[in-house]
Structure 1
Amino acid sequence: MTIRNWFKFFVIAMLIGGGVTAVASLFIRWNFFQPYLVAGEFGEFIAAFTWMILLGFTMSVIAQAGFFAYLTLHQIGVGVFKTLTLWNWVQLLLIIIVLVDLVIFRFAPDAKSVGDWLFYIGLLVFLVGAAIATAIKKVNMTGKKHVLISAIFFMIVITSLEWIIALMGRQDNINMYVALLLFPLVAVNAYQLLMLPKYNEKSEQDRKKLEERRKARKQTAQQS
């Protein structure tokens, strides 16, 4: 990927992270914003809203780091297990392990009531549903069925690792952040997974155009 296209990729991912977090915070943390509006403290409201955007930017950077780490892991996995089929079975096993880990070791210790379980299971259903939907879209875009497991693996396992920052928290309002931080991670990771090939293709086209311009300038210089 060229520097220019990487910068576009990076900025759009940042905007998605910031925008999704800001919008989600208005619903998830409305009790935090409402007193400022009721009191007419619009400056405080804007400051709090801006902080949510910055939080989204931070989660976007984490998601991008996780994505490029996964690209390396994927290449290593294929190299170690020799075939993509075997690597897909390993990824499938890891998906199951991570989902079990989320339920037993992350959700269960903090789930004190039926409402808590519904909250956590709802987030898990959202994560898995978004992963499957993104993976299906990826298959449709590429026409390659073997990418289904890899896409689901990235969207569930890598997102869960990035999400662990919130899941390991123990503050009184941690559940709000557990929910809030999941949405930008899922959104940014889905964007990265689906759009990276287009940026790579655009970069290849840009390189070809640059090479053609260089050849044209060289020919012009030779003729003159």
Structure 2
Amino acid sequence: MTLNSRKLVYLFFTTLVIGAAAGTITGVLLDTETYFSGGFLNFLFGTLWMFGICAAISLVAQMGFFAYLTFHRLALGLFKSVRLWNWVQAVLVVFVFFDLIYLRYIAFASEDETLWGYMVMPVLLLVFSLIVAYQKQKETNKETFLSALFFMYVITTIEWIPALTVNAVNESKWLWIYLAPLLTANTWQLLTLHRLTREPNKK
């Protein structure tokens, strides 16, 4: 398995563009009045501004991905067992899922908000993460499922923290705008890395 400089540059720029584009499209769709009500220049500069912000978020996703790869190797050495490390990752996924729903509800909910309003995004994120983890397992092997799920759910949530200080119900626009490039970039990186490092004679 090798990742030469050409492949690394390819992964970097494709992740940057794909993540930024996904965030920009999300931002425009969530606030069409702002982008389309002021003429072409307003749309152009507004879109470029959003693309720049989402590109920066995409860079965060890339740093998180390579940090996780390093952390994953260290954890395997620490626990001396893939099975034990997988159990730890599974527990952390459950903890983060609980944290995203209940603890955020306790911290930010007003009197007229219910717990249900804080469940939508964590549940959708979990479902998406399960789908990506399944695809990773399908393209590689069954041992990668929990690691992929951990990366997509826990690491994405950590990268998402700057936006999570916003009220999830009343001010959700920036939550989605921040999450879109993170999810897209992380999905692309996770499903592309093994293809780039695969030996040429293997399918």
Aligned to 1:176: 173
From 183, 186, 191, the counterpart of 2:183: 186
* Deviation of 1:174 (Å): 4.5
Aligned to 1:5: 7
1:75 and 2:38 matched:
no
Residue by residue, what CA displacement relative to the aligned partner does 1:170-206 show, whole Å, maximum 9, x if unpaired? Answer: 7xx84211121111111110111111011123xx65x
Aligned to 2:27: 25
From 125, 129, 132, the counterpart of 1:131: 129
Would the aligned equivalents of 1:134 and 1:151 in 2 still touch at CA under 8 Å?
yes
Root mean square deviation of aligned Cα: 1.9
Letter matched to residue 173 of structure 2: M
Determine the C-alpha separation between the residues in 2 that align with 1:193 and 1:147: 11
Letter matched to residue 47 of structure 1: F
Aligned to 1:161: 158
Determine the C-alpha separation between the residues in 2 that align with 1:10 and 1:97: 31
Letter matched to residue 9 of structure 2: F
Would the aligned equivalents of 2:133 and 2:149 in 1 still touch at CA under 8 Å?
yes
Determine the C-alpha separation between the residues in 1 that align with 2:86 and 2:18: 29
From 92, 117, 132, the counterpart of 1:94: 92
* Deviation of 1:104 (Å): 2.4
**3-state SS, counterpart of residue 146 of structure 1:** helix
Unaligned runs of 5+ in 2: none
Letter matched to residue 108 of structure 2: D
Using structure 2 for the length normalisation, give the TM-score: 0.88
* Deviation of 1:50 (Å): 0.8
Using structure 1 for the length normalisation, give the TM-score: 0.81
Would the aligned equivalents of 1:17 and 1:184 in 2 still touch at CA under 8 Å?
yes
**3-state SS, counterpart of residue 142 of structure 2:** coil
From 85, 95, 106, the counterpart of 2:104: 106
* Deviation of 1:114 (Å): 4.7
1:197 and 2:194 matched:
yes
Residue by residue, what CA displacement relative to the aligned partner does 1:26-74 show, whole Å, maximum 9, x if unpaired? Answer: 22222432432xxxx3212211111111111111100000000100111
- Size of the aligned set, in residue pairs, is 195
**3-state SS, counterpart of residue 37 of structure 2:** helix
* Deviation of 1:91 (Å): 0.6
Would the aligned equivalents of 1:111 and 1:117 in 2 still touch at CA under 8 Å?
no
Determine the C-alpha separation between the residues in 1 that align with 2:156 and 2:35: 28
TM-aligned CA distance change 1:85 to 1:116, over 3 Å: closer
Determine the C-alpha separation between the residues in 2 that align with 1:181 and 1:82: 36
Would the aligned equivalents of 2:102 and 2:115 in 1 still touch at CA under 8 Å?
no
Determine the C-alpha separation between the residues in 1 that align with 2:132 and 2:60: 19
